[in-house]
């Protein structure tokens, strides 16, 4: 399964000021596979250590933080020598060993010639609790579920994927290519981007087998709630998680704590929400009343929407039959908008790690996403089909006169003056559309 982040890992390897790398990402998005693939392609050897599978590894970090001793004893434990520069050291599930996280500071300061990468399924939770995190001593990358381009490559559509990666403003999509991309996009809505799900779909095109993998992933997330979250918070985390599809299906999509369970209020559920955010399972998109720089200063933390980390898991949690997605029906119209927004958000996060905002003007207008690019604030209106009437975006433009505005829909046109029309399957390539 080809992953575009491999290019970023290669850049990290070649940095002169390279530090130990922490690869963040939600469970089962492919972190371990990617790091091993990276090691096989760019190093003569790999030294792999999993702190969850081999608990005895933790004892190697308890005596002191002598990097030479740690590396020597790690090598002894696997029967090989760890060589500077030619061996890639992988610390997997590093969140299980707090002292291993702290040791990264000393690897940075005293053993920078060694190439060390770390991954963990709940690193966000662990880092929040880590009392002696090596601030400034590590590099970070985030691996998300496979995006639409990677989905095309998994379907052996490398030529088509390369075409989209280079596609820019003024280029034209022929009708056969646009139809092909629309078909693949609907399939992506069904599968999402979890690598094992995508692989199963590509190899079998069997929806039952595909959904079994999706359910397995969802079950593993629920297991994480019970295993890693505070006991008192487990019921709340589970309830918030389960309520997201239902809340996204509502007209305004705004998350309302009282809808999670009768009698529960924001103060009762805030810790549960923070846990889900830190685990990378949900994205909190806050409302802004004014699109001014910096956007964070104008965010309203009590007014927000919650989206899932993967559009395919959203479909599975919603119990939405795959036939409805592939062959849209009228009774799918409302939730289709929420699913499309979730897809666009995930694509935008691969364009920029910053979570966007949304804008409202009373009950009269709402723009789905507001992103910042340098000094420019860019509104993005999302349409699930070919209807591109965007009254809310027109209201926003009249009020704030942005240099750039974007409408994204199933239409294949990539034109527009003032308002750029970008097909949904190209929204992840925003960098190609700026002048």
**In this model, does residue 426 exceed pLDDT 90?**
yes
Q: Average pLDDT for residues 195-207, to the nearest whole number?
A: 97
Per residue in 6-15, pLDDT (tens digit) is 999 999 999 9
Q: How many CB atoms lie within 10 A of CB 226?
A: 12
CA 46 to chain centre: 27
Please state whether beta strands 21-24 and 139-142 pair in parallel, antiparallel, or not at all (unpaired): parallel
pLDDT band for position 301 (50/70/90)? confident
pLDDT at site 329: 63
Confidence of residue 137 (pLDDT cuts 50, 70, 90): very high
Q: What number does CATH give the domain 6-142?
A: 3.40.50.300
| C-alpha distance from residue 56 to each of 51, 67, 97, 314, 353 (Å) | 8, 18, 10, 38, 35
Q: pLDDT tens digits for 355-376?
A: 999 999 877 789 999 998 888 8
C-alpha–C-alpha distance, residues 403 and 376, integer Å? 7
Burial of 163 (0-12, 13-18, 19+ CB in 10 A): middle
Whole-angstrom Cα Rg for the chain: 23
Q: In the structure, what pLDDT confidence band is assigned to residue 328 with cuts at 50, 70 and 90?
A: low
- Mean residue pLDDT of the chain comes to 91
135-139, 213-217, 330-334 — which is least confidently predicted? 330-334
| Exposure b/e, 58-87, CB count within 10 A at least 16 = b | eebbeeebebeebbeebbeeeeeebbeeeb
Residue 416 has pLDDT above 90, yes or no: no
329-344 residue pLDDT tens: 666 666 888 999 999 9
Q: Percent of the chain, pLDDT > 90?
A: 70
The predicted model scores a pTM of 0.94
- Residue 399 pLDDT level (bands cut at 50, 70, 90): very high
User: Over the stretch 154-170, which tens digit does the pLDDT of each residue have?
Assistant: 999 999 999 999 998 77
432 backbone dihedrals φ, ψ, rounded to 5°:
-80, -5
Q: What confidence category does residue 135 fall into, taking pLDDT thresholds of 50, 70 and 90?
A: confident
What are the pLDDT digits (tens) for 81-120? 999 999 999 999 999 999 999 999 999 999 999 999 999 8
**CATH 3.40.50.300 residue ranges in the chain?**
6-142
pLDDT at 312 over 90: yes
Q: Residue 147 has what DSSP assignment?
A: -
The pLDDT value given to residue 119: 95
pLDDT at 331: 62
For residue 406, what are the β-bridge partners? Answer: 380, 420
Position 1 confidence tier, pLDDT thresholds 50, 70, 90? confident
């Amino acid at each position: 399964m080809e992953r575009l982040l491999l290019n970023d890992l290669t850049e990290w390897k070649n940095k002169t000021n390279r530090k130990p790398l922490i690869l963040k990402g939600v469970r089962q998005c492919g972190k371990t596979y990617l790091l091993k693939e990276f090691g096989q392609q760019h190093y003569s050897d790999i030294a792999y250590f999993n702190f969850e599978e081999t608990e005895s590894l933790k004892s190697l970090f308890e005596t002191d933080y002598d990097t030479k001793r740690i590396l020597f004893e790690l090598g002894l434990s696997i029967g090989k020598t760890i060589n500077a520069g030619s061996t890639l050291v992988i610390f997997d599930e590093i969140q299980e060993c707090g002292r291993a996280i702290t040791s990264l500071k000393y690897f940075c300061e005293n053993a920078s010639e060694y190439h060390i990468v770390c991954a963990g399924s709940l690193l966000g939770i662990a880092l929040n609790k880590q009392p002696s995190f090596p601030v400034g001593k590590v590099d970070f990358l985030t691996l998300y579920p496979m995006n639409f381009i990677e989905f095309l490559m998994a379907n052996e559509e490398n030529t088509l994927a390369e075409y989209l990666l280079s596609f820019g403003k003024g280029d034209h999509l022929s009708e056969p290519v646009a139809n092909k991309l629309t078909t693949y996009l609907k399939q992506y809505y069904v599968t999402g981007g979890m690598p094992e799900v995508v692989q199963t779909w590509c190899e079998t095109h069997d929806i039952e087998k595909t959904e079994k993998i999706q359910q397995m992933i969802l079950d593993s997330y629920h297991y994480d709630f019970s295993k890693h979250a505070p006991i008192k918070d487990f019921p709340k985390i589970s309830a918030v998680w389960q309520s997201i599809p239902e809340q996204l299906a509502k007209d305004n999509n705004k998350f309302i704590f009282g809808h999670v369970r009768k009698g529960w209020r924001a103060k009762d559920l805030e810790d549960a929400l923070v846990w889900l955010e830190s685990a990378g399972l949900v994205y909190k998109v806050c409302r802004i009343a004014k699109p001014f720089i910096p956007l964070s200063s104008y965010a309203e933390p009590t007014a927000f929407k919650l989206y899932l980390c993967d559009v395919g898991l959203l479909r599975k949690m919603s119990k939405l039959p795959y036939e409805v997605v592939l062959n849209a029906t009228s009774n799918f119209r409302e939730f289709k908008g929420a699913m499309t927004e979730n897809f666009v958000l995930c694509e935008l996060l691969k364009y920029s790690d910053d979570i966007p905002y949304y804008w409202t003007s009373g009950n009269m207008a709402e723009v789905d996403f507001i992103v910042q690019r340098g000094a420019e604030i860019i509104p993005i209106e999302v349409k699930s089909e070919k209807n591109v009437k965007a009254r809310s975006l027109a209201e926003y433009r009249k009020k704030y006169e942005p240099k750039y505005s974007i409408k994204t829909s199933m239409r294949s046109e990539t034109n527009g003056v003032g308002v750029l029309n970008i097909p949904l399957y190209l929204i992840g390539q925003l960098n190609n559309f700026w002048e």
